[in-house]
Amino acid sequence: MVPDGTPTVRLSLGEHENAFCALVARHRAVGEACRKVEAEIQRKAGESLTPQTSCCLAGLHLLAAPVVVGGHHVATWIGGQVFQKRPTKAGFRSVAKQLARMGVTEGLSQIEAAFFSGHIVAEEQFQASVQLLRLFAQHLGQNAEHLRLLSRPDEPQCVAFAKEFIQAHFTERVSLEQVAAAV
- pLDDT tens digits, residue range 24-51? 988 999 989 998 998 999 999 999 999 9
pLDDT of the residue at 108: 93
Give the DSSP letter of residue 70: T
Query: 137-172 pLDDT, tens per residue?
Result: 999 888 888 777 666 667 677 777 777 777 777 677
Q: How far apart are CA 141 and CA 28, in angstroms?
A: 34
Q: Which of 111, 22, 11, 9 is nearest to 63 (CA)?
A: 11
The three-state (H, E, C) secondary structure of 90-132, written as one string? HHHHHHHHHHHHCCCCCCHHHHHHHHHCCCECCHHHHHHHHHH
Rounded mean pLDDT of the chain?
A: 86
Local confidence band at 10 (pLDDT 50, 70, 90 cut-offs): low
Closest by Cα among 24, 63, 17 to 42: 63
Q: What are phi and psi of 68, to 5 degrees?
A: -115, 130
* Per-residue pLDDT at 110 exceeds 90: yes
Phi, psi of 66 (to 5 degrees): -75, 145
Between CA 74 and CA 81 the distance in angstroms is: 23
Per-residue confidence (pLDDT) for residue 87, from 0 to 100: 96
- Report the alpha-carbon distance of residue 26 to residue 22 in Å, rounded: 7
Q: What is the pTM of this model?
A: 0.73
